[in-house]
Amino acid sequence: MDKIFLHGMKADTLIGVYDWEREHRQTLVIDLDIGIAEKQALSDDIADTVHYGEVCEAVRSSLQNQDFLLLEMLAEHIAALVLNDFKALWVRVKVVKPGILPDVKEVGVEIERSAD
């Protein structure tokens, strides 16, 4: 299996369990690794593969219209979007909430899901 990846994508959404977290949108940093079939990588036609620009746009747009309590559910949402809307074979989603805890660089979650 081959991979397409988007690392360091920033997206804003309303997330958190505490009232103070839910007062303003937060910027998250998202890494996506998207598994594709080898035949998709062998074509030179964008229509034959996962268009990473469209993935980025879809994720950002979706997060603008959603709110979440937990990073885990947000990651599940992104994984389902990539698997269902872009026909990926597999996806790894890492979501980081930078600067949320004092003296901690990154807090986040990482999940892997496969198409059924």
State the catalytic residues: 97
Residues 6+ apart with CB under 8 A from 69: 15, 16, 17
Residues 6+ apart with CB under 8 A from 70: 15, 17
The Cα 64–Cα 13 span in angstroms is 6
